[in-house]
A and B are shown apart, each in its own frame.
Chain A
Amino acid sequence: MPAYPTLDIVRRSASNEAPPQIRAGNELEIAKLIDVSRCIGCKACQVACDEWNNLRSPIGINTGHIQNPPDLAADVFTVMRFNEWENPKTGELEWLIRKDNCMHCADPGCLKACPAPGAIVQYANGIVDFNEANCIGCGYCVKGCPFNVPRYSASDHKAYKCTLCSDRVPYGLEPACIKACPTGALQFGTKSAMIEVANTSIENLKERGFENAGLYDPPGVGGTHVIYVLHHADQPGLYQGLPENPQISPLVRFWKGGAKMAGLALMGFGLVASLFHYFTVGPNEVPEEAEDEALALEHQQSGNRQPGRTIRPGGSAS
């Protein structure tokens, strides 16, 4: 296994500083390959994930479905999603099983949305990692993610997701889920190597009649560091809602881009225009004549009404 000597950060949430450059271009991008066609749904990856990450989610409720736990959670970083699908072309029942976890996007929506400096980082090897020590618990990452992956913890008000074993990979270990997979459905290596492995598998699938077999490495998010081999790559939605063409929502892009720039410009303009109005036109003072006019008006008015309603100097009513 090659070394991925990479704790260099290439992107850091809510930070404008340039990342370290000294190794730029020399680092290997990694990928986790999930070959759905080879998965038997044993859930060894789920167990290994819980083991390595020391997660003990409470015992849940049987929802009458083999998928268990039913969804990702703050303490569930990966879950096998099971879908029973009747292929209309062949009339056969297909059991589509997809291991769901963070996709580690090249262009991560969570990182874009995050307002806390350093709460989300992207390493040069492609791993997108949450650093809970810097997390402020706003939940913006949940809204930024195009895959609906990050989960908000109700107990400590922080967000969690798959780390792609960022605490194993830099030391030459493969992620825990990979280590546990008994069928080779999960493989790990450089991204280019994983694409080669995937292509071999896709050819085999096509020979077996899955004419739409293909790689899922969505370009809308700049590619991902978790890639799928799907037997029905033309219909990713079959695998429990894998998005067809995921990208950072234009709403999130505009919110974090143009809208905030326009807002800053507006507030800055208000401030600067006010200051310079004062420095040029100057204050609007009340001239003494106006005070006299007001007094005259008051005298005129008090002549028209009952006496004893205006307090005179010294406080005595007259």
Chain B
Amino acid sequence: MDAGTDRTTPRLYVPRYTALQRVNHWITAILFVLLTLSGLAMYYPWLYFLSAPFGGGPPTRAVHPWLGVALAVCFFALAIQFLRNNLWNRDDIRWASRFKSIMFNEHENLPELGKYNAGQKAVYWLQLLLVPILLVTGLIIWQVYFGRLTTIETQRVALLIHALAASIAITVIIIHIYAGIWIKGTGRAMTRGTVSGGWAYLHHRKWLRETLARGDQGRTVKAGSAYGGE
């Protein structure tokens, strides 16, 4: 996805995610996809065919809650690591208020940002809100183990909230995935752990300055090195 692989001058690569963070992210991502497929199978008749890759209806029903518990654990581990950089600040308001420039790739109108922009932070906080809601409502409607612990009325409320929260969470992830496709050079952060200096300069200049200023014992690497090069 990197533009200019024919570039002859060295290129700067900046570390963005540790190996542990990438592994954590991808386990969470795989679980989310599996949860989406197995959940949608039970969500609407047209989508029941999605139960086939899980071995049919009963295994889909059986595995979905376990995947959910695993996702909650992985997601919370991820969220703790990403918390500090996702706190809101004034730049976010200035950035988000220029919505049109964001959508039309007009960088020159956008303020310099730290590690995350308001869109990324919105994904973080929405999922941090929705995952616990999905976990709690999911446990309430987990018939095999908890079917008798709450009243049927409570379970009806939980079913409704679970479906609504899941719809929002899936939509947020669709947009999250699209952002990674739209903004070229982003995927590298989660596949290799680094981003190009140009990407950081364009989208998160404040974060780039901070990272460079920190000096970061050899974590800033250039093309051709063992760390960042193509």
A244 to B150, CA, bound (A): 23
Contacts of A301 in B (CB 8 A): 209, 212-213, 215
- The verdict on A254 contacting chain B, using a C-beta distance below 8 Å, is yes
- The verdict on A1 contacting chain B, using a C-beta distance below 8 Å, is no
How far in angstroms is the closest Cβ of chain A from B63? Answer: 11
Q: How many residues in B have their beta carbons less than 8 Å from beta carbons of A?
A: 75
Cβ contact of A291, chosen from B11, B220, B225, cutoff 8 A: B11
How far in angstroms is the closest Cβ of chain B from A268? Answer: 9
How far in angstroms is the closest Cβ of chain B from A127? Answer: 22
Q: Verify B48–A116 contact, CB threshold 8 A.
A: yes
Q: Verify A157–B164 contact, CB threshold 8 A.
A: no
Contacts of A54 in B (CB 8 A): none
Interface residues on A, range: 35 or more
- The verdict on A290 contacting chain B, using a C-beta distance below 8 Å, is yes
- The verdict on A192 contacting chain B, using a C-beta distance below 8 Å, is no
Segment from B25-33, B38-46, B74-82, B115-123 that makes contact with A:
B38-46
Q: Verify A291–B12 contact, CB threshold 8 A.
A: yes
- The verdict on A193 contacting chain B, using a C-beta distance below 8 Å, is no
Q: Verify B196–A286 contact, CB threshold 8 A.
A: yes
| B104-136 contact mask (Cβ, 8 Å, vs A): 1 or 0 | 110000000000000000000000000000000
Contacts of A278 in B (CB 8 A): 178, 181-182
* Residues of A in contact with B (beta carbons under 8 Å apart): 14-16, 115-117, 134-140, 142-143, 148, 152, 154, 157, 249, 251-252, 254-255, 259-260, 262-264, 266-267, 269-271, 274, 277-278, 281-295, 297-298, 301-302, 304-306, 309-315, 317
- Since A157-B143, A290-B202 are in contact, a sample of 10 more A-B pairs with Cβ atoms closer than 8 Å, ordered by chain A residue number, is A154-B144, A157-B144, A251-B159, A260-B44, A267-B171, A281-B104, A284-B182, A293-B201, A305-B215, A311-B221
